[in-house]
């Protein structure tokens, strides 16, 4: 099963995706910058819930936009 959510952050569109991987969820993120250029992350980690996967993907994307260290996925 696939779960997607979008958030706009500082002019960037963040699309977080959680995909069921057996009993866990894998997180990935698509970031579209204000000029329309898109970047897709690789798999950001495995999570116990789709909500946890999506929340982490958003936190990861926001940190990337702010040029901060990405949060731990643990």
DSSP string, 18-65: EEEETTEEEEEEEEE-TTS-EEE----EEESSHHHHHHHHHHHHHHHH
Average pLDDT for residues 59-67, to the nearest whole number? Answer: 96
Interatomic CA distance for residues 8 and 53, integer angstroms: 18
Entry pTM: 0.89
| Stated length of the chain | 74
Q: Is residue 26 a contact partner of residue 43, using CB atoms and an 8 Å limit? A: yes
Average pLDDT for residues 10-38, to the nearest whole number? Answer: 94
Average pLDDT for residues 9-31, to the nearest whole number? Answer: 94
Give me the residues paired with residue 17 across strands.
Answer: 4, 28
């Amino acid at each position: 099963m696939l779960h997607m959510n979008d958030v706009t952050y500082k002019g960037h569109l963040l699309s977080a995706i959680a995909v069921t991987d057996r009993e866990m969820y894998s997180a990935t993120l698509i970031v579209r910058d204000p000029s329309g250029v898109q970047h897709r992350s690789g798999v950001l980690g495995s999570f116990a819930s789709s909500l946890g996967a999506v929340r982490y993907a958003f936190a990861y994307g926001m940190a990337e936009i702010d040029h901060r260290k990405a949060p731990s996925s643990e």
